[in-house]
Structure 1
Amino acid sequence: MLAVRGLSVRFLLPGGVRVAAVTDVSFDVAAGECLALIGESGCGKSVLASALLGLLPGNAQSAGAARLGALDLLTADERTLARTVRGRLVGLIPQSPAAHLTPVRRVRSQVQETVAALTGVRGRAAVREAAERAAGRAAFPATHLDRHPHELSGGLAQRAATALALVGDAPLLLADEPTTGLDRDLVDHTVDELRAHVDGGEGRALLVITHDLAAAERIADRVAVMYAGRIVELADAKDFFGGPGPRHPYSRGLLRALPDREFTPIPGLPPELSDLPPGCAFAARCPRADTACAAPPPVTDGTACHHPHTREGSRDLQEGSRA
C-alpha cells in the first residue's frame, strides 16, 4: 500500500542552521495492516506525516521516495495532491484538529461538504444522513453538529476531525495523535473504529502516530519506534508489547515508563535535531552505551543498535511488569 524509502526532511533556518527532522526513514504499510509510529515529542513523527501529504513549509527540503501504488507522494505536484491524494487516497486525522476546521462554518456544513465531494452522495436529505452517520462513527454527538469549531472542546474537535477523515473511506488513513483529549472509553472507541476502517474493505491500511502506547497495543499489527528523526526499531506488535518484548534500549525505556509497568522515566533529554551526534543519538541516555556507540549503529533484525537486547533477554521486561 505505502512504501517509504530513504525519506529525509531538513529545515533551513536563519543563519544557515539545518535541522535534520527526519533522516533516512524506510518502512512499508501493507494492505490490511496498521503500523503504529511511536516516540517522544519532537522526534520527527508529525514531520514525516506532513511530508507524505505535501504539507511541509517552504523552508523544508525532502529527499527519498514514498510510493502509494504507482504514485510517488514526495514528487507529486500540488494539483495531484489536492485533487487526487488528500481525502481520496489518503485520509488525514491531523494532530491539531481545531486548526484544520473552518472557524466560521458549523461542523455540519463541513462534514456535509466533505460527503458531497468524496462520496458522490446527492440530495439534501441523503447528504445530511450520510454526514450524521460519519459523525456517529467518530462518536461525535449529532447535537453538536450545528456548533462552530470554537464551541467545541479539544476532544470534540478531535472527533470532528476523525469524522471528516473517515468520510471518503480512503485506502490509506494517516492518523496523527487521533486520541488526544479523549477519555479512555473514547480512546478505545476511536481506535476500534480506525481498525474497523482497515478491516472493513480490501486494500485499506492505517498509519497511526501516537504517544498512547495502550492505544498502539490495541490497534497495531506492527510498531515503528522513532528517535531523533530515525526509526530505531521495527517490530511485530505482539512481540513488542508482550512475548519477547522490544530489542532497542530506547524502546524498552518507553515501555518501562508506562504507569502499568515500572513507571520509570528515561533519564535525560533527546538531542537537538540541529546538533545530532555522529554516532548513536541515544547513547548519552543509554545504560548499555560504550565506545562503539560513537559510530552509527548497524541495523540488525529491524533494530538500529550496537548492543540490542536479545529476544530471550527481553523477557525480563514482562517479568518486571508482572512483579
Structure 2
Amino acid sequence: MRGGRHIAAVTDATFDLAAGECLALVGESGCGKSVLASALLGLLPGNAQTTGTALLTGPDPAAAPTDLLAADERTLARTVRGRRIGLVPQSPAAHLTPVRTVRSQLREVLRELTGVRGQALTEAAETAAGRAAFPADHLDRYPHELSGGLAQRAATALALIGDAPLLLADEPTTGLDRELVDRTADELRRHTDDGRALLMITHDLAAAERIADRVAVMYAGRIVELGPAADFFGSRGPRHPYARGLLDALPERSFTAIPGMPPELGDLPDGCAFAARCTRATDICADPPALTPGHGSSAACHHAEERVDA
C-alpha cells in the first residue's frame, strides 16, 4: 500500500523450481523481481499484503510442504531463513553486521548452521570465504572497510554456508568485474549441481546465460515469458517483444535500447502493459494477454507466434 492506495507490485507469478535447477529472473529495475524474493522470505514491509501460495517441499516427499506466504515469523526465522533458504541480498552492506568483522560473522553462522567448533571453525570460515572469492587477508575487516564488490562477496559467502536446499540470489554479481562475475556464477552453478535449487535475480544476462537452466522475464509486476535458457539465448530467441528487447540492448547484440519507460505499477493499462513501447502492438493488445505455452516457452503476448527476423 502506498499513499492509501493498493499497488500490485507482483501479480500472477506462477512457476516451479526443482532441485538441481537454476531459474534466472530478469527484467528492468522496479519490475517486481526483488519484491518477489522478499515475499518468499517474509521480508516485506508490515503494510504489504500477499495472496496465493508458495510451497517449499522438503527431503521427505511424504511431509507436508511449507507455505512460505502463510508461515508465521517464528517459523520463517527458526526453520526457513538460512537453513532451508539462503539469501544473497541485493544490498549486502545493509545485511552485514557493522560492528563485527567478516570472519566473526562467518564463524557465527557456521556455528549456528553446521555446529562446527574449535580449529575446524577457523578453517571452515576461510573455506566459506574462498567459495565466494573473498580474500583471506580481508577477513578481519569490518563492513564499512569493504568496497561494494567485497561486501557482495562476503554476503555470498554467508549465504552459501549451510548449503540450504534453495538459494535466492538477488543481483549476486553487482559490483564485480567480469572475471569475478564468472567465478561467482560458476560457484552458484556448482551449488546447484550438487542438488540444490537456485533462483537468481539479475540484470546480468551474460551471467544468466552462463548458468541458468530456465529464464523468467518480468515486466510491470508480471512474468511475461518463461522457458528454457537454451531457447532464450539461442537461435530460437525469446517470444515476447520485451524479452527480445532485453537481448537486443546488449552491446554484443544490436545495442538498441527499448524505447520509452515502464509504466507505473499504480497506473497500469487494462491491456498489455508493454503495448505503449512495443512496435508490434495492435488493437488486440487492449486485451490483457495470458501466459500461454508455445514452442518451448510460455509468453504473455498476442503476437508471440509471429515470426521476428533477427
Normalising to structure 1: TM-score of the pair? 0.91
Q: Following TM superposition, by how much is the alpha carbon of 1:309 offset from its aligned partner in structure 2, in angstroms?
A: 4.2
Aligned-residue RMSD, C-alpha = 0.8
Find out whether 1:35 has 2:19 as its counterpart.
Answer: no
Gap regions ≥5 residues in structure 2: 58-64
Task: Specify the SS of the correspondent of 1:232.
Answer: strand
Find out whether 1:77 has 2:65 as its counterpart.
Answer: no
Deviations along 1:17-70, whole A, 9 cap, x unmatched? 221100011000111100000000000000000000000001111111000011
Q: Following TM superposition, by how much is the alpha carbon of 1:300 offset from its aligned partner in structure 2, in angstroms?
A: 2.2
Instruction: Give the distance between the partners of 1:269 and 1:235, measured in 2 at CA.
Output: 25
Report the counterpart of residue 115 of structure 1 in structure 2: 110
Find out whether 1:288 has 2:280 as its counterpart.
Answer: yes
Find out whether 1:308 has 2:286 as its counterpart.
Answer: no
Question: In the alignment, which of 99, 112, 135 is matched to residue 104 of structure 1?
Answer: 99
Q: Following TM superposition, by how much is the alpha carbon of 1:126 offset from its aligned partner in structure 2, in angstroms?
A: 0.9
Instruction: Give the distance between the partners of 1:137 and 1:130, measured in 2 at CA.
Output: 11
Instruction: Give the distance between the partners of 2:192 and 2:240, measured in 1 at CA.
Output: 28
Give every structure 1 segment of 4 or more consecutive aligned residues whose post-TM-superposition deviation is greater than 6 Å: none
Question: In the alignment, which of 182, 193, 206 is matched to residue 187 of structure 2?
Answer: 193
Instruction: Give the distance between the partners of 1:32 and 1:110, measured in 2 at CA.
Output: 28
Report the counterpart of residue 133 of structure 1 in structure 2: 127
Task: Specify the SS of the correspondent of 2:13.
Answer: strand
Instruction: Give the distance between the partners of 1:61 and 1:76, measured in 2 at CA.
Output: 13
Normalising to structure 2: TM-score of the pair? 0.95
Find out whether 1:270 has 2:266 as its counterpart.
Answer: no
Report the counterpart of residue 234 of structure 2 in structure 1: 242
Q: Following TM superposition, by how much is the alpha carbon of 1:298 offset from its aligned partner in structure 2, in angstroms?
A: 2.8
AA at the equivalent of 2:47: N
AA at the equivalent of 1:156: L
Find out whether 1:90 has 2:82 as its counterpart.
Answer: no
Find out whether 1:13 has 2:13 as its counterpart.
Answer: no
AA at the equivalent of 1:27: F
AA at the equivalent of 1:254: L
Q: Following TM superposition, by how much is the alpha carbon of 1:243 offset from its aligned partner in structure 2, in angstroms?
A: 2.5
Instruction: Give the distance between the partners of 1:180 and 1:291, measured in 2 at CA.
Output: 40
Gap regions ≥5 residues in structure 1: 1-11, 318-323
Instruction: Give the distance between the partners of 2:212 and 2:287, measured in 1 at CA.
Output: 32
Once the two structures are aligned, what percentage of the paired residues are identical? 76
Report the counterpart of residue 279 of structure 1 in structure 2: 271
Instruction: Give the distance between the partners of 1:101 and 1:107, measured in 2 at CA.
Output: 8
Instruction: Give the distance between the partners of 1:299 and 1:138, measured in 2 at CA.
Output: 36
Task: Specify the SS of the correspondent of 2:266.
Answer: coil
AA at the equivalent of 2:276: A
Instruction: Give the distance between the partners of 1:300 and 1:29, measured in 2 at CA.
Output: 18
Question: In the alignment, which of 160, 167, 170 is matched to residue 176 of structure 1?
Answer: 170
Instruction: Give the distance between the partners of 1:185 and 1:297, measured in 2 at CA.
Output: 40
Q: Following TM superposition, by how much is the alpha carbon of 1:273 offset from its aligned partner in structure 2, in angstroms?
A: 0.4
Aligned ranges 1:215-230 → 2 under 5 Å = 215-230=207-222
Task: Specify the SS of the correspondent of 1:274.
Answer: helix
Is the contact made by 1:249 and 1:309 (CA closer than 8 Å) also made in structure 2? no
AA at the equivalent of 1:250: Y
Instruction: Give the distance between the partners of 1:176 and 1:309, measured in 2 at CA.
Output: 32
Find out whether 1:68 has 2:56 as its counterpart.
Answer: yes
Aligned length: 299
Instruction: Give the distance between the partners of 1:19 and 1:116, measured in 2 at CA.
Output: 41
AA at the equivalent of 1:267: P
